Amino acid sequence: MASTDEQTTLMNEARDADRLTMYSDAVFAVIVTIMVLQLKTPDSPHLSALSSLWEPMVSYVVSYVFVAIIWINHHYLTRLTRAATLPIIWINFLHLFLVSLLPFTTEWMAKTKLAPTPVVVYASLFVCADAAYNLFERRVLRECDMVTARQMRVARMRSLLALALFASAAITAAFAPWAGVGLICLALGLHLKPDVGA
């Protein structure tokens, strides 16, 4: 049976992990709120006026799905976090910082009607955010004893494949923005089911 000191340490570690999760959840909520506030209503009262908003809506939907997928994967991953160590906290802050830039790149891409340069920047942000998530996932899994070696291998392979697809999207978008957006959606599809913990 664990001693009182060990029980206190475990309780403190669990509380720190919960705080990490709650803070991250709050940041994700703010990001989604900012994105939806950037959607501008048409001046016309006619339903046909909505047709002019399809590029902003595509940008918003892809970004919203990205945040949803990140939140789901983050949720399952942080459930495996026994303790919020300093490296895990800093990597999480880096990841959240990159995701917090999503409303800016989403609006730029929408305003320019998916022009090549904004889509390249948008896809590049996905590369950076996903790379930071990969670091976060690797660190959490390394300190976790609830995941098998095979599960870790599968999670790593899927994460690296998604990262490669995001990088391909950034390159492709320079020549074919819609194809770049398509590759982003394909990469997101790899993470619809969380890598671990689900």
Q: Which residue has the tokens 């889509």?
A: 119
| Structure token digits, residue 161 | 């494949």
pLDDT at 185: 94
- Distances in Å between the Cα of 192 and the Cα atoms of 110, 158, 159 are 24, 11, 12
- Distances in Å between the Cα of 160 and the Cα atoms of 47, 101, 119, 156 are 43, 22, 21, 6
pLDDT at 80: 82
Question: Average pLDDT for consecutive 10-residue bins of the chain (198 residues)?
Answer: 53 67 90 83 74 81 92 87 84 95 93 93 96 91 80 87 96 96 94 75
> Is the pTM value of this prediction over 0.75?
yes
